């Protein structure tokens, strides 16, 4: 951390700042430049953010610049090796392959989920998605099937062998959802539900953390830090678009976040072009773009009959369109020297939750 002192500051004022820093146990390195005096704060301790805030209250302090990252455990600075999240032992997100997670927005019933699971698996998905607890903007929209939805997801896993990712919205449900899910999804609306983050940090299941509706990359990584520092190191980040002034798409899919995150964090990153665009027509092009940007996977909403979907039919691919999407992404993955995961390994076999 560096403290820049304003011009025309007296030696006494500077001494007050130095005394404050040393009184909190930090070292100082004072450097007089041609125009400004700069104080380097030496040492790493948990109260550094507090010290920075307190130093800003000194009249002679122009600014306080942080050098190290506010997120420590998930930062690339500490751990150089990329994290590979092992889902149910067999699906390794963050390895050299691109993973495809597919399924309906919402579990609407047994038949539609089983049909979808079988189809997406036959066309290269390595994980099944589907919400049982749905975060609905309107209290009048479908809220999901709850526990019954979880049971149907487990049945689909037993039937087709795909591990399942499903959302948990309430800290009180983490235990129950963990009994069924292979990956716990934290939705965009809950990215900063800190009690929920602390609860999934204690769960023994990987977590997929979606980017908040208007979260900066730093806020998102700090949310991941809650889970990681709380003891759960199996965290997957999911870019799903952010809210901007643009209304032509449901969200603005921030694909620049993908290579940026590769610089900032060792955690794997996947992209959800369905919620990221809100238009089924844009899902395939943005799935291709996500893979070209270096994503470790894509998450796609697929519904047997989007026109009858209870939720998000407008951004869901039907089976035929999903199959075409898979054909479109394959050469992009190949160009990135990353095979589609299902092409590079034997069929997934999952038996338990």
Judged by the rule CB under 5 A, the positions of this chain that interact with Mn ion are 105, 312
**In this complex, which beta carbon is closest to ligand PEP, that of residue 234 or of residue 301?**
301
Least Å distance, CB 333 to Mn ion, is: 24
210 makes contact, choosing from Mn ion, ligand PEP, none, with CB < 5 to 8 Å by partner type, with: ligand PEP
**In this complex, which beta carbon is closest to Mn ion, that of residue 189 or of residue 198?**
189
Pairing status of strand 164-167 against strand 91-93: unpaired
- On whether the CB atoms of residues 300 and 97 are closer than 8 A, the answer is no
Looking at the DSSP bridge assignments, the partners of residue 265 are 75
Tokens representing 264?
Answer: 């900032």
Give residues in contact with ligand PEP (CB under 6 A).
105, 131, 135, 187-189, 210, 240, 275
Least Å distance, CB 351 to ligand PEP, is: 26
Using Cβ positions, the residue closest to ligand PEP within the complex turns out to be: 187
Can you list the positions of beta strands (E) in the chain?
Answer: 2-5, 27-32, 37-42, 61-65, 85-87, 91-93, 99-103, 127-129, 164-167, 183-186, 207-210, 235-239, 269-271, 297-301
Smallest CA-to-CA distance from 147 within 182, 184, 173, 127 is with 173
Using Cβ positions, the residue closest to Mn ion within the complex turns out to be: 105
187 makes contact, choosing from ligand PEP, Mn ion, none, with CB < 5 to 8 Å by partner type, with: ligand PEP
**In this complex, which beta carbon is closest to ligand PEP, that of residue 210 or of residue 338?**
210
Least Å distance, CB 187 to Mn ion, is: 9
Least Å distance, CB 105 to ligand PEP, is: 5
Tokens representing 98?
Answer: 């691109």
Neighbours of 236 (CB within 10 A): 27
Q: Does residue 92 sit in helix, strand or coil?
A: strand
Least Å distance, CB 188 to ligand PEP, is: 4
**In this complex, which beta carbon is closest to ligand PEP, that of residue 203 or of residue 215?**
215
**In this complex, which beta carbon is closest to ligand PEP, that of residue 233 or of residue 275?**
275
């Amino acid at each position: 951390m560096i403290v820049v002192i304003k011009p025309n500051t007296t030696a006494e004022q500077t001494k007050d700042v130095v005394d404050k820093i040393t009184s909190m146990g930090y070292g100082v390195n004072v450097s007089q430049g041609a125009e400004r005096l700069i104080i380097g704060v030496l040492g790493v301790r948990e109260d550094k953010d507090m010290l920075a805030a307190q130093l800003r209250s000194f009249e002679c302090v122009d600014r306080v610049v942080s050098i190290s990252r506010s997120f420590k455990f998930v930062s690339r600075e500490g751990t150089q090796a990329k994290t590979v999240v092992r889902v149910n032992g067999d699906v390794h997100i963050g390895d050299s392959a691109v993973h495809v997670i597919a399924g309906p927005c919402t579990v609407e019933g047994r038949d539609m989920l089983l049909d979808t699971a079988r189809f997406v698996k036959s066309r290269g998905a390595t994980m099944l998605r589907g919400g049982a607890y749905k975060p609905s903007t309107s209290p009048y929209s479908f809220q999901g099937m709850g526990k019954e939805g979880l049971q149907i997801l487990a049945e689909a896993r037993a039937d087709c062998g795909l591990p399942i990712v499903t959302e948990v919205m309430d800290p009180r449900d983490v235990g129950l959802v963990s009994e069924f899910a292979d990956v716990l999804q934290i939705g965009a609306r809950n990215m900063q539900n800190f009690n929920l983050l602390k609860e999934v940090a204690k769960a023994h299941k990987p977590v997929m953390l979606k980017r908040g509706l208007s979260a900066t990359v730093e806020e998102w990584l700090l949310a991941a830090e809650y889970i990681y520092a709380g003891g759960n190191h199996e965290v997957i980040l999911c870019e799903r678009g952010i809210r901007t002034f643009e209304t032509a798409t449901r969200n603005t899919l921030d694909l620049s976040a993908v290579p940026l995150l590769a610089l900032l964090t060792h955690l794997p990153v996947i992209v959800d072009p369905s919620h990221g665009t809100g238009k089924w027509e844009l899902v395939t092009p943005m799935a291709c773009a996500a893979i070209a940007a270096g994503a470790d996977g894509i998450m796609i909403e697929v519904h047997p009959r989007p026109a009858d979907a209870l939720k998000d039919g407008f951004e869901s691919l039907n089976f035929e369109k999903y199959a075409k999407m898979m054909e479109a992404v394959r050469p992009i993955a190949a160009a990135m020297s990353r095979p589609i995961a299902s092409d590079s390994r034997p069929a997934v076999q999952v038996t338990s939750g």
